[in-house]
Chains A and B, each alone.
Chain A
Amino acid sequence: MTPEIEINSIDQIPTQIAIEQTEAEQDGSAAVIAVEGLHKSFGSQKVLNGISLKVKRGETLAVLGRSGTGKSVLLRLIIGLTKPDSGSVCIHGVDIAGLALDQMGEIRKKMGFLFQHAALYDSLTVEQNVAFPLQHHQKKMSKSERADRVRGLLAEVGMEDALAKMPSDISGGMQKRVGLARALALEPDILLLDEPTAGLDPISSGEIDDLVLKLQEEHHMASIVVTHDLHSAKTIADHLALLNEGEVVVQGDFEELQNSDIEFVREFLKHS
């Protein structure tokens, strides 16, 4: 049973909330990420129109769709960078709507986010970028322990030789690898990937896919991957959700997508 607290004034808001995986989440019977009836508009432009999704521990969901269908907005809503107009996003059973920034921080410590363009801090080296979350949240970690952890994370993504380089000195694919290492720094339960293979050549895309698969096998995270790349989605995801005009047109495994007789799904598969 989840205890609830009613808060009626700003002074009553606790700055720390405990977020832990329940037994049901660990054995995969409960969703780690539960999105219900999510609506989002920008001005008169409706972007999401009642999206509902669930992702369990160890599962990877690929969200597909045309450009501008709100795939990236969905990820931003899940990590709380954007507020929904209505609907709910529950992470580990906690509805994130209305949480204060510091409370949201407690939830975000359990989440890793890879931005579409990696969003590395351009004034910091690769090593400092990956060390950033550790510096802020693992204060008891000694400098040498932190350095070892950063090297380990960079080795995991095959970037251990780029420690001292600046983000501007490495390629887009390398930046995404570093972004992935940064996203994994706090050992998250949830991994959100926004177009991990966009703009990369086929070989680099394949390497990123292999890397995501490897990380999934090792860390058993609940992951959502937003992508245009059907081949990549097929490789790394257990389930797929196809978005059109702010709604989930079809959700299931790749076979279900292929067997769908919905016109948009056929059209999408034909051009992918």
Chain B
Amino acid sequence: MIAPRLSAAADRATALPAPSTLPGSSTVSTKGPIHHFLEWFGDLGIFFWRVARAAATPPFEFRELFRQLDEIGSKSLPLVALAGAATGVVLSLEARYSLTRFGAKSLLPAAIVFSVIHETGPIITGLVVSGRVGAGIGAELASMKVTEQIDAIEASAVNPYRLLAATRILACILMMPLLTLASDACGLLMGWVTQALVEPVSLHQFINSGFNGADFNDFLPPTFKTAVFGLIIGLIACFQGMRTQGGAAGVGRAATSSVVLSSLFVILADVVLVKLIIIFFP
């Protein structure tokens, strides 16, 4: 029998990061919003570290990962495709109006293609997934937390960071680029349909004209940047869900905050990533 005596270990057993104000506490917090934000960010960092450690060490939860790939990927596909298609229609209508005014109507296919693959496809996918998946993960994990199901998982000697968080975050990272491809394809298709209804043009012509001058740098970095969106959505939703306290109201708050925070951080990350893509993939 070995009795380990640990003098330094960042990754302790026990509690998932929890809000600093515990139920039953009679103290009134005097901390300001900046303090709270920094504390939240610190807790998020610790959570990420624990998830990364759990994800990198066996046993791996492949069964749960495949279930989440289906839940997050396949089941988000219709919504993402619809959002992408609607964006394609709107872009086509707006771009046609603007380009005709400035006498650049021939650039319409290129304007649609570049807008969709560079920005609207990835960001629309990010926001739609953060709405659907962020809320779903946040509410599911929060509900499990308040009904002690996460404690029961831990009590069964199963690491909840590995089983619940790592699988969901990894599924978000893997599925986001694929969903973005689907969104891009639907956007381009509906962009062409909208244009073809006004002025007959074949799909072949539309694509040829749209992708004229485009290379892989126009396509790959914007598509794969959505893996970072996936990391943000999965991480924030799992974190908000697993630190929930306070019954049904807490579940509601976790779902809402998962969507709001993940959407906000997706947009902020997009600003940084667009700049990085411009620098590294000119």
Q: Are A119 and B152 in contact (CB under 8 A)?
A: yes
Q: Which residues of A contact B23 (CB under 8 A)?
A: 42
Q: Does B30 sit within 8 A of A, measured CB to CB?
A: no
Query: Nearest Cβ in chain A — how far from B246, in angstroms?
Result: 14
Q: Does B12 sit within 8 A of A, measured CB to CB?
A: yes
Q: Does A155 sit within 8 A of B, measured CB to CB?
A: no
Q: Does A98 sit within 8 A of B, measured CB to CB?
A: yes
Find B157's partner among A94, A96, A120, A137 (CB 8 Å cutoff). Answer: A137
Find A42's partner among B12, B13, B25, B57 (CB 8 Å cutoff). Answer: B25
Q: Does B147 sit within 8 A of A, measured CB to CB?
A: yes
Q: Does A210 sit within 8 A of B, measured CB to CB?
A: no
Top 7 A-B pairs, shortest CB-CB distance: A43-B25, A104-B13, A108-B157, A105-B157, A119-B148, A119-B152, A98-B6
A residues apposed to B, CB below 8 Å: 2-10, 13-15, 17-20, 22, 42-45, 76, 79-83, 92-96, 98-106, 108-109, 111, 113, 115-117, 119-122, 132-133, 136-137, 139, 182, 186
Q: Are B3 and A93 in contact (CB under 8 A)?
A: yes
Interface 0/1 of B151-194, CB less than 8 Å to A: 11111111101000000000000000000000000000000000
Find A2's partner among B3, B144, B149, B155 (CB 8 Å cutoff). Answer: B3
Q: Which residues of B contact A105 (CB under 8 A)?
A: 157-159
Q: Are A101 and B155 in contact (CB under 8 A)?
A: no
Query: Nearest Cβ in chain B — how far from A70, in angstroms?
Result: 11
Query: Nearest Cβ in chain A — how far from B29, in angstroms?
Result: 10
Query: Nearest Cβ in chain B — how far from A77, in angstroms?
Result: 9
Given the interface pairs A105-B157, A113-B155, the reply to whether A22 lies near B5 with Cβ below 8 Å is no
Q: Are B149 and A119 in contact (CB under 8 A)?
A: yes
Q: Are B157 and A133 in contact (CB under 8 A)?
A: yes
Q: Are A81 and B14 in contact (CB under 8 A)?
A: yes
- Tell me, in angstroms, the Cα distance from A192 to B4 when the chains sit together: 24
Find B5's partner among A6, A113, A120 (CB 8 Å cutoff). Answer: A6
- Tell me, in angstroms, the Cα distance from A206 to B210 when the chains sit together: 76
Q: Are A2 and B156 in contact (CB under 8 A)?
A: no
Q: Are B9 and A3 in contact (CB under 8 A)?
A: no
Q: Which residues of B contact A113 (CB under 8 A)?
A: 152, 155
Q: Which residues of B contact A137 (CB under 8 A)?
A: 157
Q: Are B9 and A115 in contact (CB under 8 A)?
A: no
B residues apposed to A, CB below 8 Å: 1-15, 21-27, 50, 54, 57, 59, 144, 147-149, 151-159, 161
- Tell me, in angstroms, the Cα distance from A92 to B13 when the chains sit together: 17
Given the interface pairs A80-B14, A115-B148, the reply to whether A15 lies near B57 with Cβ below 8 Å is yes
Q: Name the CB-closest residue of A to B148.
A: A119
A83-B15, A98-B12 given; name 12 further pairs at CB < 8 Å: A6-B7, A10-B8, A14-B2, A42-B25, A43-B24, A101-B13, A101-B154, A108-B155, A119-B151, A122-B147, A132-B156, A186-B157
A-B contact pairs, 8 of them (CB 8 A): A6-B7, A13-B4, A43-B25, A45-B24, A81-B154, A93-B1, A106-B157, A122-B149
Q: Name the CB-closest residue of B to A113.
A: B155
By secondary structure, the B interface counts as loop
Q: Are A136 and B5 in contact (CB under 8 A)?
A: no
Q: Are A7 and B5 in contact (CB under 8 A)?
A: yes
Find B26's partner among A45, A108, A182 (CB 8 Å cutoff). Answer: A45
Query: Nearest Cβ in chain B — how far from A6, in angstroms?
Result: 6
- Tell me, in angstroms, the Cα distance from A79 to B148 when the chains sit together: 14
Q: Name the CB-closest residue of B to A76.
A: B151
- Tell me, in angstroms, the Cα distance from A112 to B158 when the chains sit together: 13
Q: Are A10 and B157 in contact (CB under 8 A)?
A: no
Q: Which residues of B contact A42 (CB under 8 A)?
A: 22-25
Query: Nearest Cβ in chain B — how far from A41, in angstroms?
Result: 9
Q: Are A102 and B57 in contact (CB under 8 A)?
A: yes
Q: Which residues of B contact A122 (CB under 8 A)?
A: 147, 149
Find B159's partner among A102, A115, A117 (CB 8 Å cutoff). Answer: A102
Q: Name the CB-closest residue of A to B58.
A: A15
Q: Are A121 and B149 in contact (CB under 8 A)?
A: yes
Q: Name the CB-closest residue of B to A133.
A: B156
Q: Name the CB-closest residue of A to B23.
A: A42
- Tell me, in angstroms, the Cα distance from A111 to B158 when the chains sit together: 13
- Tell me, in angstroms, the Cα distance from A122 to B149 when the chains sit together: 8
- Tell me, in angstroms, the Cα distance from A13 to B10 when the chains sit together: 11
Q: Are A80 and B8 in contact (CB under 8 A)?
A: no
Q: Which residues of B contact A120 (CB under 8 A)?
A: 149, 152
Q: Are B154 and A7 in contact (CB under 8 A)?
A: no
Q: Which residues of A contact B152 (CB under 8 A)?
A: 113, 115, 119-121, 182
- Tell me, in angstroms, the Cα distance from A115 to B10 when the chains sit together: 28
Residue of B13, B15, B27, B153 ringed by the most chain A CB atoms within 10 A: B13
- Tell me, in angstroms, the Cα distance from A15 to B10 when the chains sit together: 14
Residue of B7, B148, B156 ringed by the most chain A CB atoms within 10 A: B156
